[in-house]
Amino acid sequence: MSPLIFSQQQESTSDSESTTKPQTARSTIEEISVTGERTTYSLRLEIECAETEAYSLFNDLNSNDEFDVTCEEVLYTGSHLPVRTCMAAYLRREEARQTQNYIQSLSSGSLGAPGSGALLDRVSVRGEELEKTKAMEQEMIRLAIEVQEFTEVLKKLSELVGALEARTKN
């Protein structure tokens, strides 16, 4: 088999002009990409990366440090699965305040006033926190209108979340 290869090499070196053109044509083979369907797990990872990118950009662009969003893995009591929680700085402070109030009410023997529980939800956000939430939403809208990069990141995140929702509905 090696004499055959040797003879082919001799032919190509002796007739260099005629072989140069076919080799060039062969070297311009189009690239073929095959992409499979995303798994639910990979979609969730992409969403996490897109959230991190969006919040990082928002933190750099926004005008108020209280609006800076941080994400962390939270392990709730009774669970072994961490949950990713993203929250603005002012909401984290309010959650900490409410948690301290709840713990103090337990040590005093009472269950505390309604809404003084350890968990912060949209219903318990009132007054100043509600006003800050509205202001933060307006800031996000303003930045999405004014900064094309932020708009693209939000669009990408929205598409990924939509793809995940469509997958989990079925």
pLDDT in tens, 48-102: 999 999 999 999 999 999 999 999 998 988 999 999 999 999 999 988 888 887 7
> Does residue 84 lie within any of the structural domains?
yes
> Does residue 3 lie within any of the structural domains?
no
Domain count, the chain: 1
73, two tokens:
């893995």
Which has the minimum average pLDDT: 46-50, 119-123, 127-131, 144-148? 119-123
> Does residue 30 lie within any of the structural domains?
no
Residue 34's pLDDT is 72
Decide: 153 and 57 in contact? Cβ < 8 Å. yes
Residue 23's pLDDT is 53
Residue 3's pLDDT is 44
> Does residue 137 lie within any of the structural domains?
yes
10 pLDDT exceeds 50? no
Residue 21's pLDDT is 53
Residue 117's pLDDT is 47
Specify which residues 107 forms β-bridges with: none
Q: How far apart are CA 31 and CA 70, in angstroms?
A: 41
Supply the mean pLDDT for the chain.
Answer: 80
Residue 124's pLDDT is 57
105 pLDDT exceeds 70? yes
> Does residue 128 lie within any of the structural domains?
yes
> Does residue 19 lie within any of the structural domains?
no
Whole domain around residue 53: which residue ranges?
40-169
Residue 111's pLDDT is 55
Q: How far apart are CA 152 and CA 158, in angstroms?
A: 10
Using CA of residue 35, residue 36, residue 41, residue 44, what is the dihedral sign?
positive
> Does residue 98 lie within any of the structural domains?
yes
> Does residue 7 lie within any of the structural domains?
no
99, two tokens:
């948690």
